[in-house]
Structure 1
C-alpha cells in the first residue's frame, strides 16, 4: 500500500500502452538501451538438464573468483509437473555495482538429487552466467517426476552454493487431495526485520506465492532504516531512490542478502508477481507517479522489469523485452487447483480522480477502464471456461473486493484498487459466473493488513450472492510492527459487511486446499522492529467447496 495521491498527473501524459506508433518507438528505444529476447537468444543464461550418468561435461571456464559468489542464495520457482526453474546469482561483493564479478562470463555447474546429501545425483548440467544479466543463472530443469521433492545446488570453481529444496507439481490429471501454500507480500527492507520469512521457511508448505512489492524503490539509510544497525553500515548506493538498472540490481542485492529471506527461498519454490514498488509507487501502465514523459518513465520501467527477472526464479517466457514483460501466467496443482497469476500494473488505465480516495463516479466507472488490459482479461476468462480444477485461485496484487472507507452513502473508495476499476471487476465477476467457477479464491497483497472478505456479486447489496473468497496476506515488513486492531477497525467492519476479518500485524496467510474445503490461517508476529519474534495463528476461516463464503474455523 502506498501513499494516496500523486504529484500533478498531467492529462497530456495519458499514454496508452496499446498505441502502436508510440509502442514501437518505445520498444525501439528499449532495444537501444537494453538487450531484448532476440538479441540475447544466443547468450541467455539458461540450461537444459543432461542425464548425470553417461553425460559428457562441458569444459569449465576458470572463474577467478576469490570469495564466495553465492551471497544472495538460491531459489526455485514456478513448479510444473515435469520441471522447475532453479535460480542463483553470482555476487561475491553484492554491494558493488557489478557484484564483484566484472564483465567476465562464468560457467556454473548445477545438480539435482532426491536427497540433501546428493548421494545420487539425478541430473546435472552447466549454465553460463553473463554480466549482461548481472551474472544471474536460470536453469529450467526438465524431465522431473511429478509431485516430487528435489534438492539442488550450484558450483563454480571451488565454490559451492547452499542447498535448495524444491518440488514439482502433481500431474495435471492427478486427483490431488491437498495443497498447502503461503501467501506473502510487501517487504520494505527499511521497515523492519524479515522475521516472517524465518517462520515461512519453517512451515510445511508446498509453495509460496509472493503477491508484489518484493522491492521498494525508496532510499535506505546507512542504518537500514528501522533495523537500526549498530554493527553494519550500509553504503550510500542504497540511500537514494532506484532509477537505473544498476540501482535496481543493487537494491535486490540488499534485499536478498537477508538471511531469513534466503532461508525461505532455499526451502520452498516461489511463484512471484509484481506490484508498483518494484518499479515506482502507484504507476499505471506507462504513466508514472510524477509528471514526466511516458517515454522517459518506460526507460525506468525497462530497468526495473529487467532487474526483477534477473533476481527471481522466472522462466525465459517472462524475460522482458524493453519495458514490456508478460508476467501473467497459469499453473496447476493436479485437478485440485488452477492458479491464474495476474499482473494488475503493466496494462491498467490511469487511476481515476488523480489517484485519490473518491466515491464512485463517471470517471472511475467508465466501462473503457481496465486494470488488467483487454488481452489479460480475456485470457483469464478463457482459462476459467476450460478449467477442470476444483479450486480456481487468482493470485494478484490489489484489493479486489469493495472497501468503503466510511459508512456514508458516498463513501470514498481506493482508486488504486479494483474499486477504481468497477467495470473491469464486474466483467471478471460475470466471467467467473458464466464459467461456472464455484470455488474462487483470490489471494491479494498491497494493503499491509490482513482481510478476509466474501466476494459479492453486488457489493452494494449485502444480500446478493457470495461468489468467492478473498484474503489479503498483510505484509512481511511494510508498515513496521503494526497493531491488532487499527483505529478504524470498527468503522471498516461496519462499512463493509462482507469483511469478516481485519488485522494490521505483520505476517502471512497459510492456505490448505482440500477436496472438501479450504482452510485459511492468518499467521502474525508480535513485532519486526527486533528480530526473532514468535509467530501465532491469530484467525482461521474455512470456505467449503461448492458453498462460497467464509466461516470461522
Structure 2
C-alpha cells in the first residue's frame, strides 16, 4: 500500500498551554508533571542522545516478548514492525524500570529465517514504554515476509507480514478482513483466533481496540477461575499509566497476539480508545476542555506506543494524524478516516432522535474541513478500480423505528447529514463508480446499499457499506436481535443484519467484491466455532448488493 503523508497543525495549542501551566499545581486527573510531559512529548528518543542508562539485554532473565509482535501499513517497499519489551506486563514499568534496551530485528523470505533480507538494531526506551516501531525499507513489492526480534538470549514469536504490490501494477485480487470493538470484559477474542488462520492479505481494525471501562479481577464476562487480574485494571482509564496498562492487558490475550502475528494490520481508532462518544475536544461529561485534552493526549500517546504505527502518526500533544491513504496496486485505494478527532459535537445532546435543524446545520462536520478536502481531492486523482473508505460509525441512514419521526443515532453520520452529503457529492463529482465504506462501532453486522436518497428506495445506488460486527463487545449477541424485523422494514436499503460476534472477510477482484460475514456462536466461553452467516456480492460498475 502506498502512503500519503502530511502533518496537521495543533488547533489546541492555546488551551493546552493554559492547562499545562496548572498540571503540577492541580495534578489534573491524577497526572504528575512527569507523566504529562511524556503524554505531551513530540520527540522520539534518539540513539545519539539517549536519556536512560543501557540495560545489558543478556541480564534479562524473563521472556520480555510477552505481548507478541505486530506489523502494519504495507507499502510496496516498506512495512512497519512493532513489539514491546515487558517481562512483567501488568506492572507499570513492564519490569524493565527506566533503562533502555538494544534489540536486534530481522526480516526474512522464509519461515526458517535462512534467507534474511534485512536486519538491524533498535532501542527500546522507557520514554516510549519500551515499545519498538521499526520502519523497514528496501523490500520487494508484493511479497510475503517473516520477521522477529531478539533481546539478549530471548527471541520473539515470529510474525508474518507482506508488502503491497507496486502502485501502478495490475492486480487480479485482494483479500482483507475488517474487525472492530473488542471489549476484553465482554468475552474472549475467539474471532481473532479464527481470523489468524484465515488467508487474508491485510486486516483493517476500525476502532474500539480497547475500552476505558473498569475490568474486574475475574475479567468480567470471561469469569476467570484460574487467575486474578490486578486491582489497577478495575478503574476507568484516565492517566497515561492507566492507558498503557490497559493495552498490556489486551495484548496479553493469546488470540489477539495470534492475529497480529499472522497478518499486517491497518489501524484506526474510534471513541473508546480515549473516552465514550467524545467529539474533538469535548468529552461525554462536559469536562473543562483543558482537562479532557490532557486525557486525550495520554490516550493518544499510549495508542501510538502500543500500536504498529509509523513515526508520522506520533502524537503532538492531544493531536495525531491518523487518517491516511494506501493503495493495493491499481485494484484498490483505501482512504482511512478519523471520525472522532475533528468532528462537531453531537447534536441534541447525543440523544437518539429524528434529525432536525441542529443536526442538519451545513456547518456541522464529521471529518473536519482539512480531512474532507483531503478525501475528496484523493478521489479526484484516484484511478483505482475500487475506492474503499475504512472508518468508524454508520455511514448509511439507519432508522431505529417505523413511521414518521423515526429516531436515528446523532453519533453516526445521520447526525451529520450535510457532511455525508458533501462526501457523496464529492464521490459523484470524482466519478467514483465502485465505492465501498467499511464501518465498525455498533456491535452488529450490517450490509447497506448507499442511496442517493435514503428515503426513496428506487433512487440511485452509489455504493456499498459493510459494517463489521464486534469481536467481543456486547457479549454473545443473537443472529436475529429483537429489533431485527423493525430495522429491516424501516431501512429498505439494509440488506443484512446480524447481532453475533465475528469479522468480515472481503475479496476484491477486477469484476466484483464479495463480503462474507463470519460469526461465532459465543464469546463468553472460549473456542466457539466460526461459520459464514451470509455472503453478498457487488459487481464492479453496478453498485448494489446481491446474495453471494
Give the TM-score normalised by structure 1: 0.92
Quick check: 1:505–1:525 contact (8 Å CA) kept in 2?
yes
Distance in structure 1 (CA, Å) of the matches to 2:174 and 2:59: 44
Distance in structure 2 (CA, Å) of the matches to 1:313 and 1:71: 16
Superposed displacement of residue 64, structure 1? 2.6
Match of 1:415 in 2: 410
Match of 1:538 in 2: 533
Distance verdict in 2 for CA 1:386–1:23, change over 3 Å = farther
Runs of 4+ in 1 over 2 A off after TM superposition: 17-46, 59-64
Paired residues for 1:190-269 under 5 Å = 190-269=185-264
Deviations 1:488-528 (A, max 9, x none): 11110000000000000000000000000000000001111
Match of 1:137 in 2: 132
Match of 2:60 in 1: 65
Match of 2:500 in 1: 505
Deviations 1:426-479 (A, max 9, x none): 000000000000000000000000000000111122221100100111000000
Paired residues for 1:329-340 under 5 Å = 329-340=324-335
Quick check: 2:79–2:135 contact (8 Å CA) kept in 1?
yes
Match of 2:267 in 1: 272
SS in 1 for 2:486: helix
In the alignment, structure 2 segments of 5+ residues that lack a partner are 1-9, 24-32
SS in 2 for 1:297: helix
Quick check: 2:39–2:301 contact (8 Å CA) kept in 1?
no
In the alignment, structure 1 segments of 5+ residues that lack a partner are 1-16, 47-58
Paired residues for 1:182-193 under 5 Å = 182-193=177-188
Match of 1:40 in 2: 44
Distance verdict in 2 for CA 1:19–1:270, change over 3 Å = closer
Distance verdict in 2 for CA 1:43–1:244, change over 3 Å = farther
Q: Does residue 346 in structure 1 map to residue 341 in structure 2? A: yes
Quick check: 1:110–1:126 contact (8 Å CA) kept in 2?
yes
Distance in structure 2 (CA, Å) of the matches to 1:267 and 1:338: 23
Superposed displacement of residue 42, structure 1? 3.2
Distance in structure 2 (CA, Å) of the matches to 1:360 and 1:45: 55
Match of 2:29 in 1: none
Distance in structure 1 (CA, Å) of the matches to 2:74 and 2:457: 39
Q: Does residue 328 in structure 1 map to residue 323 in structure 2? A: yes
Match of 1:175 in 2: 170
Distance verdict in 2 for CA 1:360–1:44, change over 3 Å = farther
Q: Does residue 22 in structure 1 map to residue 5 in structure 2? A: no
Match of 2:71 in 1: 76
SS in 2 for 1:493: helix
Deviations 1:90-113 (A, max 9, x none): 000000001111000100100000
Distance verdict in 2 for CA 1:473–1:27, change over 3 Å = farther
Q: Does residue 405 in structure 1 map to residue 400 in structure 2? A: yes
Quick check: 2:396–2:450 contact (8 Å CA) kept in 1?
yes
SS in 2 for 1:366: coil
- RMSD over aligned CA atoms reads 1.9
Distance in structure 2 (CA, Å) of the matches to 1:35 and 1:532: 38
Match of 1:85 in 2: 80
Deviations 1:133-181 (A, max 9, x none): 0100000000000000000000011110000000000000010000000
| Equivalent residue for 1:100, pick from 95, 100, 125 | 95
Superposed displacement of residue 39, structure 1? 3.7
SS in 2 for 1:40: coil
Superposed displacement of residue 33, structure 1? 2.3
Distance in structure 1 (CA, Å) of the matches to 2:13 and 2:428: 34
| Equivalent residue for 2:377, pick from 367, 370, 382 | 382
Distance verdict in 2 for CA 1:264–1:309, change over 3 Å = same
Moved more, 288-297 or 147-156: 288-297
- For this pair of structures, how many residues does the alignment match? 525
Match of 1:525 in 2: 520
Q: Does residue 457 in structure 1 map to residue 459 in structure 2? A: no
Distance in structure 2 (CA, Å) of the matches to 1:45 and 1:533: 50
Distance verdict in 2 for CA 1:225–1:45, change over 3 Å = farther
Deviations 1:357-389 (A, max 9, x none): 111101000011001000000000000001010
Paired residues for 1:288-299 under 5 Å = 288-299=283-294
Superposed displacement of residue 37, structure 1? 6.3
Distance verdict in 2 for CA 1:66–1:488, change over 3 Å = same
Quick check: 2:40–2:318 contact (8 Å CA) kept in 1?
no
Distance in structure 2 (CA, Å) of the matches to 1:275 and 1:45: 35
Quick check: 1:153–1:161 contact (8 Å CA) kept in 2?
yes
Give the TM-score normalised by structure 2: 0.93
Distance in structure 2 (CA, Å) of the matches to 1:397 and 1:226: 25
Distance verdict in 2 for CA 1:193–1:35, change over 3 Å = closer
Match of 2:438 in 1: 443
Distance in structure 1 (CA, Å) of the matches to 2:77 and 2:48: 22
